[in-house]
């Protein structure tokens, strides 16, 4: 079977940039998201630039059978992942008790359930090709997030799960990396119904830079990659500060403090 890099959420933001970077390094791609028009446009762009044309798989990863369908589709095309990039994800701003419950559960299905299933489904082919797994967490994985509770918790799961896999798979030749971006201006903010506060501009990074940092960290076999110096300092501060203090400081419901 031919090895391919499977990238979720490639139709926008960080995922599109990850696709461009993996393609530039000679990886043949499978692009997954719901908006197939965007994925096809990206596939055309990459083919025009002289890379192999990516395979496009339109899928809603909140659906229970989505990963099984992707696995079946790949095997019917004689493809198997050497790298899996779990990038698709979204957040919602607001109090957990008042936000739509189904939408929040859908977030868990995407950010946690699909990511877990995609991480585990292809372990044998990742090992066979001595490839890797890149899971996109967030700097918010380091703290609880009142005002965005489910999103922060989902990213804490991604970080914890990915660090554990890094250890469990260390003898199998599979690189496993959690990428923790800080604020990145993408479609994320509109979907979450939030705006990046002006303070976030100081540590904001463009999506192509974040994707490059993630790619480099994965190829180096780093366990956790926090994107950018400002975010590294923020993450170190969060790790050292008691939650009782952090909770008050980061309360999304308080004046203008926004998550990412």
Q: Work out whether 235 is an interface residue with ligand NAP (CB under 6 A).
A: no
Q: Work out whether 208 is an interface residue with ligand NAP (CB under 6 A).
A: no
**Cα 254 from chain centroid (whole Å):** 27
From 22-30, 42-50, 161-169, 185-193, span contacting ligand NAP (CB under 6 A): 185-193
From 23-31, 42-50, 72-80, 180-188, span contacting ligand NAP (CB under 6 A): 180-188
Q: Work out whether 225 is an interface residue with ligand NAP (CB under 6 A).
A: no
Residue appearing with tokens 């799961």:
157
Verify whether residue 151 is a known catalytic residue: yes
Q: Which of 6, 29, 43, 61 binds ligand NAP (CB under 6 A)?
A: 61
Q: Work out whether 209 is an interface residue with ligand NAP (CB under 6 A).
A: no
Are 92 and 145 within 8 A, CB to CB?
no
For residues 137, 141, 142 and 148, what is the CA-based torsion angle, rounded to 10 degrees? 150
Tokens of 247: 């909770």
Distance CA 36, CA 111 (A): 20
From 41-49, 75-83, 92-100, 182-190, span contacting ligand NAP (CB under 6 A): 182-190
Are 32 and 74 within 8 A, CB to CB?
no
Restricted to residues 132-161, the positions that interact with ligand NAP (CB under 6 A) are 136, 138
CB of 38 to ligand NAP, least distance (A): 6
Q: Which of 110, 134, 148, 165 binds ligand NAP (CB under 6 A)?
A: 110
Q: Work out whether 184 is an interface residue with ligand NAP (CB under 6 A).
A: yes
In angstroms, the first-to-last Cα distance of the chain is 38
Who contacts 257 (Cβ-Cβ below 8 Å, separation ≥6)?
147, 197, 249, 250, 251
Strands 132-136 and 79-86, sheet pairing: parallel
Active-site residue identified among 151, 152, 157, 215:
151
Q: Work out whether 162 is an interface residue with ligand NAP (CB under 6 A).
A: no
Work out the burial of residue 184: count CB atoms within 10 Å of its CB; fewer than 13 is exposed, 13-18 middle, 19 or more buried: buried
CB of 142 to ligand NAP, least distance (A): 12
Nearer to ligand NAP by Cβ, of 131 and 259: the residue is: 259
Q: Work out whether 80 is an interface residue with ligand NAP (CB under 6 A).
A: no
The residue with its CB nearest to ligand NAP is 13
Are 139 and 181 within 8 A, CB to CB?
yes
CA angle 41, 183, 236 (to 5 degrees): 135
Nearer to ligand NAP by Cβ, of 4 and 88: the residue is: 88
List contacts with ligand NAP (CB under 6 A). 8-15, 33-35, 38, 60-62, 87-91, 110, 136, 138, 181, 183-184, 186-188, 191, 260
**Catalytic residue numbers, as ranges:** 151
């Amino acid at each position: 079977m031919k090895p391919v890099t499977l990238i979720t959420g490639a139709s926008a933001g960080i995922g599109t940039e990850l696709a461009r970077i993996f393609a530039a390094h000679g990886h043949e791609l499978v692009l997954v998201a719901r908006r197939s028009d965007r994925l096809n446009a990206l596939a055309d762009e990459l083919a025009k630039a002289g890379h192999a044309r990516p395979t496009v798989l339109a899928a809603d990863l909140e659906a229970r059978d989505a990963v099984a369908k992707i696995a079946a589709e790949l095997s019917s095309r004689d493809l198997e992942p050497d790298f899996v990039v779990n990038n698709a994800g979204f957040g919602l701003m607001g109090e957990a008790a008042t936000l739509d419950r189904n939408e929040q559960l859908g977030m868990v299905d995407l950010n946690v359930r699909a990511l877990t299933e995609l991480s585990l489904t292809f372990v044998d082919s990742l090992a066979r090709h001595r490839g890797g797994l890149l899971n996109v967490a967030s700097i918010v994985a380091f703290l609880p997030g009142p005002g965005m509770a489910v999103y922060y918790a989902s990213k804490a799961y991604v970080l914890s799960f990915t660090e554990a896999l890094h250890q469990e798979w260390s003898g199998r030749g599979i690189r496993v990396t959690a990428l923790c971006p800080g604020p990145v201006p993408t479609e994320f903010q509109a979907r979450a119904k939030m705006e990046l506060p002006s303070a976030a501009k100081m540590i904001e990074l463009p999506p192509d830079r974040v994707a490059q940092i993630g790619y480099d960290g994965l190829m180096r076999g780093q366990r956790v990659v926090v994107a950018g110096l400002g975010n590294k300092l923020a993450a170190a501060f969060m790790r050292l500060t008691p939650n009782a203090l952090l909770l008050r400081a980061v309360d999304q419901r308080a004046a203008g403090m926004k998550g990412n």
